[in-house]
């Protein structure tokens, strides 16, 4: 028996949709399209165009043989979601009825990333620490991008069950005097300082602006070399998500404040990943995903991330045993959504091979 999967990874900038065929236990992608999200008034408009493409590929949408799963950025309640960065409202029941799909499920975008871990290939992962992985033990996936996403993975039977969280909004915990000053600086501006205020695109902007401010109170920073230029003493005003600008200043121009911002970002990232690993005792592995990590992979491999990760006092030796990998596949969310659609399809029609 043949089954079909419709999966999607939906964000404020892009929407990636895929249709795949399940046959004889294998999965074959039949159609995949990328859409500029803001060019469409609703998700239904996007899906309508895609389903027309699917029909031209000869994919049959039949009752009992098709399931869909869409990963979305936003809080899902009773199968409905108002997307965080788009004026779209999605309703799983309404979508199923409109497009004659047997079952439609909406899941958090980072839950989808977590689900992808089971099907990622070796080349989709970069090891920061091999550790001593234990089969069946807890895992955690985290990732800085627009915000900070975190999902736990708990082994149940023959598969991992994802558990979404809002751990990105837990309090930031400074680890040294410089980070103490960072916390004070942000508290004065923001009030409550969550991890996401630091570990995100806008968070990297916050770190950069803090270091410029801190340089005035601690002028030793002015004596640092700036790649042979004098731009270190020039004030650069960054707003919003300036991560790309900070990275450009650091990696292409060796601008000292930007280099220091990247180093501090990576150290805090590692420490936070270590806190999550301790919280869940994730001997099954820590998986760093999100939009930022793959773009700064060389910086992550320099050692600051793992030093922050391991720096847990009496538990340092334990931290050395926990595997840490960076997820580099940009379609991880889509892969995870497809895995969930596959599970749902088997539930509604056990006759279709997994």
Q: What is the pLDDT of residues 74-90, one digit of tens each?
A: 788 999 999 877 899 99
Query: What confidence tier does 216 reach under pLDDT thresholds 50, 70, 90?
Result: low
The yes-or-no verdict on residue 56 having pLDDT over 60 is yes
Distance from C-alpha of 99 to C-alpha of 77, rounded to nearest angstrom = 21
Residue ranges of the chain assigned to CATH 3.30.420.40: 3-107+331-348
Strands 103-108 and 3-10: unpaired
The pLDDT of residue 84 is 74
pTM of the model: 0.87
Query: What confidence tier does 218 reach under pLDDT thresholds 50, 70, 90?
Result: low
The pLDDT of residue 233 is 54
230/23: higher pLDDT: 23
Query: What confidence tier does 215 reach under pLDDT thresholds 50, 70, 90?
Result: confident
Distance from C-alpha of 283 to C-alpha of 140, rounded to nearest angstrom = 9
CATH number of the 121-328 domain: 3.40.367.20
Average pLDDT, the chain: 90
Residue 166: is it exposed, middle or buried by C-beta count within 10 angstroms (0-12/13-18/19+)? middle
The most confident of 91-95, 107-111, 243-247, by mean pLDDT = 91-95
Q: Which of 93, 90, 109 is nearest to 101 (CA)?
A: 93
Query: What confidence tier does 242 reach under pLDDT thresholds 50, 70, 90?
Result: confident
**DSSP secondary structure code for residue 229 in this structure:** B
Helix, coil or strand: residue 72:
strand
Residue 54: is it exposed, middle or buried by C-beta count within 10 angstroms (0-12/13-18/19+)? buried
In sequence order, the 6+-apart residues with CB closer than 8 A to the CB of 334 are 7, 8, 9, 16, 18, 71, 112
Distance from C-alpha of 158 to C-alpha of 148, rounded to nearest angstrom = 29
Distance from C-alpha of 282 to C-alpha of 32, rounded to nearest angstrom = 34
Q: Where are the beta strands (DSSP E) in 26-158?
A: 26-36, 66-72, 76-77, 80-82, 89-91, 103-108, 125-129, 139-144, 148-156
Class level of CATH domain 3-107+331-348: alpha beta
149 C-beta neighbours (distance < 10 Å), count: 28
The yes-or-no verdict on residue 34 having pLDDT over 50 is yes
Distance from C-alpha of 118 to C-alpha of 138, rounded to nearest angstrom = 13
What is Dmax (Cα atoms) for the chain? Answer: 71
The pLDDT of residue 302 is 96
Residue ranges of the chain assigned to CATH 3.40.367.20: 121-328
The pLDDT of residue 219 is 54
Distance from C-alpha of 5 to C-alpha of 207, rounded to nearest angstrom = 42
Tell me the mean pLDDT in the region 14-19: 94
Tell me the mean pLDDT in the region 305-319: 97
Distance from C-alpha of 39 to C-alpha of 25, rounded to nearest angstrom = 37
The pLDDT of residue 204 is 96
Burial 79-99 (b: 16+ CB within 10 A, else e): eebebeebebebbbeebbeeb
Query: What confidence tier does 277 reach under pLDDT thresholds 50, 70, 90?
Result: very high
């Amino acid at each position: 028996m043949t089954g079909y999967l419709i999966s999607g990874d939906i964000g404020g900038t892009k929407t990636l949709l895929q249709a795949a065929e399940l046959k004889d236990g294998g999965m074959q992608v039949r159609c995949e399209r990328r859409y500029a999200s803001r060019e469409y008034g609703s998700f239904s408009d996007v899906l309508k165009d895609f389903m027309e493409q699917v029909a031209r590929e000869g994919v049959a949408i039949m009752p009992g043989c098709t399931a869909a799963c869409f990963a979305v950025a936003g809080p899902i309640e009773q199968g409905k979601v108002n997307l965080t960065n788009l004026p779209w409202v999605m309703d799983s029941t309404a979508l199923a009825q409109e497009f004659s799909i047997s079952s439609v499920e909406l899941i958090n975008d980072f839950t989808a990333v977590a689900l992808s871990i089971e099907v990622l290939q070796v080349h989709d992962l970069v090891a920061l620490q091999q550790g001593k992985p234990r089969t069946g033990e807890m895992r955690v996936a985290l990732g800085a991008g627009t915000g900070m996403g975190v999902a736990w993975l708990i082994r149940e039977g023959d598969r991992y069950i994802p558990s979404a969280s809002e751990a990105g909004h837990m309090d930031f915990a400074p680890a040294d005097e410089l980070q103490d000053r960072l916390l004070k600086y942000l508290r004065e501006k923001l009030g409550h300082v969550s991890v996401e205020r630091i570990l995100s695109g806008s968070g990297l902007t916050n770190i950069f602006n803090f270091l410029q401010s801190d340089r005035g109170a601690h002028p030793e920073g002015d004596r640092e070399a700036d790649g042979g230029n004098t731009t270190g003493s020039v004030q650069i005003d960054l707003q919003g998500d300036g991560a790309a600008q900070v990275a450009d200043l650091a990696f292409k121009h060796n601008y000292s404040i930007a280099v220091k911002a990247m180093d501090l970002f990576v150290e805090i990232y590692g420490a936070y990943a270590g806190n999550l690993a301790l919280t869940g005792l994730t001997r099954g592995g820590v998986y760093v995903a999100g939009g930022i990590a793959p773009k700064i992979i060389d910086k992550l491999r320099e050692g600051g991330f793992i030093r922050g990760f391991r720096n847990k006092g009496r538990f340092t030796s334990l931290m050395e045993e926990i595997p840490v990998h960076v997820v580099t596949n940009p379609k991880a969310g889509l892969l995870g959504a497809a895995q969930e659609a596959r599970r749902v399809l088997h539930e509604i029609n056990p006759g279709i091979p997994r």
